[in-house]
Amino acid sequence: MKSLFLILSNPRYFAPAFAFTSLNIWFGTWAIYIPSVKDKLAIDKADLGIAIFFLSLGVFTIFPLASKIINRLGVGRATWLGITLNSVLALFPFLVSNYYLLCTALFFLGAANGLLDIAMNTLVTEIEKEDKKNFMSAAHGFFSLGGVLVGLGSFLIPLIGNPFMHMLFTTLIVFSVNFFFKKHYCHIKAAPIEKEPFSLKLFKPLLILGIIGFVSMGSEGAIIDWSGLYLKEITLAPELLIGVGFLAFSTTMTLGRFFGDWISAKIGSVKIVGVGAIIAMIGYVFVLSGNTLFAIIGFALNGLGFSVMVPELFRIGGNVKGVESSHGVAFIAGIGYSGFLLGPVILGFVAEEFTLTASFWGLLACATLVFLLTLFLSRKKAV
């Protein structure tokens, strides 16, 4: 919790942390309206999966360019650019009139998401290096906090009754807060380092962790994208509760990340990831019960289980010897977000060909794979 107090007590740390919050507010607001967009455009689950693929494709496409943009503009300005682009592009998925325009809008929104994601993680890494203070996990906790705010906002869906107006009002608030705090980081640039020739040996301990990132980030994205539809179609939850699964997931993920730095220091990175995988596995068992209340509890356990995995990966990626922090973060992000690129699409086709329940059985298998990989890492003492 020390890192949480650090963020709340100093705008130098709060400003980048709120960028994390903002990204999930934009993404989460889109996610809770996925069922509405699906109904509006009269598309099936497979088509929806492809549309989500375009969002992930946009994220993945920007990765080779992100580090160049960050190094050219400076990490602070690149972060602000990402915030500005997201503020505009988040509105377009709610304005489109057909499926093809939806795919296009999601692609560009995904690219803006990807740029901001790499920029703000690099920004935190640079501030950590300069100030010798760790707050990466807590910053990711603020990302999850954005999901909590979105989940609470989902209770306004029946009152607002207009997805575009909901996103517009949300974006105006988020942009205004970021505009006020941008002065605290816009001037920051990555510190120069002594580069070393690229070698896989530099990344050897990260390769298996990259697989963990692929699986865990893919699972996290799948829950964000499909939890509302699962509650609506499988557990037959009332409209008021459709966003509660996402709320529960985001709440426990937030709490887990605020305590993540302290727990990791006590038991080590590999053990904390292994414990998280076990908790996520139990969560999927609850989700697969088909009961609305148990499913919501399951999503809460999923959030707790996956909470600390991604922050650990980004911190390692941003501190690899001889590699610029933006390149290290982009390396981890590229592997991890491949899960975002492929996971929701595969789940969409599985749901269309079989059932949405079958998709969540696949996610349970993914959590099991993460646990098995941590056992391998423990034996090899890779980290």
Condensed to tens digits (0 to 9), the pLDDT of residues 72-97 reads 899 999 999 999 999 999 999 999 98
Q: Is residue 367 part of a domain?
A: yes
Helix (H, G, I), strand (E, B) or coil at 142: helix
Whole-number pLDDT of residue 71: 85
Distance CA(342)–CA(33), nearest Å, equals 21
Q: What is the mean pLDDT of residues 108-113?
A: 94
Q: d(Cα 55, Cα 235) in Å, to the nearest integer?
A: 27
pLDDT of residue 146: 86
Per-residue pLDDT, 148:
79
Q: How far is CA 85 from CA 70, 82, 92, 278, 315, in A?
A: 15, 5, 12, 38, 25
Mean pLDDT across 89-117: 93
Residues 6+ apart with CB under 8 A from 88: none
* pLDDT of 383: 44
pLDDT band at 381 (very low <50, low <70, confident <90, very high): low
Say what the pLDDT of residue 321 is: 64
What is the torsional sign of CA 346, 348, 351, 356?
Answer: positive
- 196 in any annotated domain: no
The residue whose two tokens read 């997201």 is: 86
* pLDDT band with cut points at 50, 70 and 90 for residue 197: low
With bands split at pLDDT 50, 70 and 90, how would you rate the model's confidence at 323? Answer: low
* Residue labelled with tokens 């696949």: 362
Please indicate, yes or no, if residue 125 is contained in any of the structural domains.
yes
Q: Is residue 48 part of a domain?
A: yes
Per-residue model confidence (pLDDT) at position 119: 92
Whether 156 and 33 have beta carbons less than 8 Å apart is answered as: no
**Residue 142 included in any domain:** yes
Q: How far is the CA of 339 from the CAs of 30, 269, 323, 372, in angstroms?
A: 19, 21, 24, 18
CATH number at 279 reads 1.20.1250.20
For the chain, give the mean pLDDT: 83
Per the model's pLDDT, the better-predicted residue between 68 and 343 turns out to be 68
Mean pLDDT of 255-261: 83
Q: Is the pLDDT of residue 215 over 70?
A: yes
Query: Residue 382 pLDDT more than 50?
Result: no
> What's the token pair of residue 297?
């509890």
Domain range enclosing 120: 2-191+201-380
pLDDT digit string, tens, across residues 27-76: 888 888 888 888 888 888 778 878 888 987 888 888 888 888 988 899 99
Tell me if 161 is assigned to some domain.
yes
Whether residue 292 is contained in a domain is answered as yes
- pTM score, whole prediction: 0.75
pLDDT 10s digits, 118-176: 899 889 888 988 888 878 888 888 987 887 788 787 777 777 778 899 899 999 999 99
Q: How many domains does one find in the chain?
A: 1
**Residue 269 belongs to a domain:** yes
